[in-house]
């Protein structure tokens, strides 16, 4: 059994990771060298810090009266603030271990500064709260431009959306009904001591997240982890046996697999990144499913399309991922305001290109995991207004197009279009 590292080591490693994120690097590949409790503790500390990035930056700004330290020491302080506020450690333990972490980071001269600043935080905690409350990035834990976009789009719900973006995401399962019934799998979870609530036809919301290797039958393909909002896609495609179906931006393969679990269709799955295509293959192999999976640019039809139209197209476009930011706490700090119109332009190009591959009478489901209207209804309504024969349909499940992130699902946008003669 791997033992958790001492807090000083975890603070050191988390500070290095957070400093790299502050420099523009993604969290995606940062944890490969860690396993067991050490990995879990490091993920908690780094993710928790980045969820509070606006807040911890403001705290250092308020307390560092002699000037801000270098980025590695400041990152250590950010992580220490999260550790203090998490309630998992005694205050004196965090202060002591943060000072020790200075040595592990070879920042010996910063020990006194770190010790003094953390003790000042503990003494001034009440007054600090009132001082940083007026800073939007500190209060809402999102960049100012992000806050402004959400507030403009959702004047009645913007604060709830931002709060959800800072929360821990739910862990939702999709039962593979080709291999197990939902009732049978609920029984397997109960036998394993895992409480779950059914929230859809084959959707189970776990009361507590667990590593996937602890899920009964996961390796055997009985179940997949997929957000309830993402599970809506396959149901909205109006699938029938024998249809030619395209999943145009398919990696890592969750929606691809769900389509194949629901209907016997001829499915082509594309993704631009060969490494991500390998994940689609792995997903389908685990679940006992098959599709024509290719590494290709969906917009470059001449490189992969045989000119036979598809009856159904799932276009889950690259986007800002603003609806799933709580799953990627670095994302909101890596994004820039200019990314939203850039994504919208790319989304429009994909939609226009793939429209050519849709059969007359066929349906295309446009999907984002964004809450920004500029990537959602603006793209769809703009396309429909300039494209002869394009009509936006009501969604089959009767739910609104825009799903906002909440306790049971992430934020997604869905639009169903048909090609009229």
- Identify the CA nearest to 76 among candidates 60, 58, 92: 60
Contact assessment for residue 11 and residue 76, using Cβ atoms and an 8 Å cutoff: yes
Contact assessment for residue 263 and residue 322, using Cβ atoms and an 8 Å cutoff: no
Contact assessment for residue 118 and residue 101, using Cβ atoms and an 8 Å cutoff: no
Question: Which residues make Cβ contacts (< 8 Å) with residue 155, sequence separation at least 6?
Answer: none
- The Cβ-side half-sphere exposure at 336, using a 13 Å CA radius, reads 4
Phi, psi of 415 (to 5 degrees): -140, 130
- Identify the CA nearest to 150 among candidates 376, 390, 420, 383: 376
> Given its phi and psi angles, is residue 282 left (phi above 0), alpha (psi -120 to 50 degrees) or beta?
alpha
Residue 369 annotated to the active site: yes
Contact assessment for residue 10 and residue 43, using Cβ atoms and an 8 Å cutoff: no
Report the distance separating Cα 313 and Cα 189, nearest Å.
34
Q: Could you tell me the sign of the dihedral formed by the alpha carbons of 26, 32, 36, 42, in that order?
A: negative
- Identify the CA nearest to 316 among candidates 388, 227, 390, 407: 227
Contact assessment for residue 165 and residue 155, using Cβ atoms and an 8 Å cutoff: no
Report the distance separating Cα 94 and Cα 28, nearest Å.
27
Report the distance separating Cα 323 and Cα 229, nearest Å.
10
Catalytic-labelled residue, pool 102, 236, 249, 369 = 369
- Identify the CA nearest to 270 among candidates 361, 357, 345: 357
Backbone Cα Rg of the chain: 24
Please give the full DSSP string across 109-150, using - where no structure is assigned. Answer: GGHHHHHHHHHHHHHHHHHHHHHHTT-HHHHHSS-HHHHHHH
Starting at the edge strand found earlier in the chain, the sheet holding 223-225 runs 196-198, 203-206, 172-175, 223-225
- List beta partners, residue 89: none
Residues labelled as active-site residues: 369
């Amino acid at each position: 059994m791997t033992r958790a590292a001492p807090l000083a080591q975890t603070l050191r490693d988390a500070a290095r990771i957070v400093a790299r994120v502050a420099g523009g690097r993604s969290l995606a590949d940062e944890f490969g060298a860690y396993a067991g409790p050490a990995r879990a503790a490091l993920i908690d500390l780094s993710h928790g810090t980045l969820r509070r990035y606006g807040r911890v930056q403001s705290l250092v700004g308020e307390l560092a009266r002699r000037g801000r330290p270098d980025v590695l020491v400041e990152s250590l302080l950010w992580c220490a603030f999260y550790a203090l506020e998490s309630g998992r450690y005694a205050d004196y333990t965090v202060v002591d271990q943060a000072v020790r972490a200075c040595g592990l980071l070879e920042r010996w001269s910063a020990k006194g500064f770190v010790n003094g600043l953390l003790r000042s935080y503990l003494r001034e905690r009440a007054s600090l709260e009132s001082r940083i409350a007026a800073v939007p990035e500190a209060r809402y834990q999102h960049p100012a431009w992000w806050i402004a976009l959400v507030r403009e789009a959702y004047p009645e719900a913007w604060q709830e959306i931002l709060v959800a973006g800072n929360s821990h995401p739910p862990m939702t399962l999709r039962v593979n009904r080709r291999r197990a019934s939902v009732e049978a799998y609920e029984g397997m979870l109960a036998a394993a001591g895992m409480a779950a609530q059914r929230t859809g036809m084959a959707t189970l919301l776990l009361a507590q997240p667990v590593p996937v290797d602890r899920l009964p039958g996961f390796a055997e393909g009985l179940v997949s982890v997929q957000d309830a909002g993402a599970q809506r896609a396959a149901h909205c495609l109006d699938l029938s046996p024998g249809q030619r179906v395209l999943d145009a931006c398919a990696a890592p393969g969750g929606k691809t697999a769900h389509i194949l679990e629901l209907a016997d269709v001829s499915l082509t799955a594309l993704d631009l990144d060969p490494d991500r295509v390998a994940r689609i293959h792995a997903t389908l192999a685990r679940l006992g499913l098959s599709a024509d999976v290719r590494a290709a640019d969906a917009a470059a039809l001449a490189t992969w399309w045989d000119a036979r139209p598809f009856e159904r197209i799932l276009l889950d476009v690259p986007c800002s991922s603003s609806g799933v930011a709580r799953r990627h706490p670095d994302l909101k700090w890596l994004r820039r305001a200019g990314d939203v119109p850039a994504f919208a332009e790319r989304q429009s190009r994909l939609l226009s290109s793939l429209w050519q591959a849709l059969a007359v009478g066929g349906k295309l489901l446009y999907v984002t995991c964004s809450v920004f209207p500029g990537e959602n209804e603006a793209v769809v309504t703009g396309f429909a207004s300039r494209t002869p024969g394009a009509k936006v349909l009501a969604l089959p499940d009767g739910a609104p197009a825009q799903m906002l992130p909440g306790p049971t699902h992430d934020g997604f946008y869905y639009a169903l279009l048909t090609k009229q003669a």
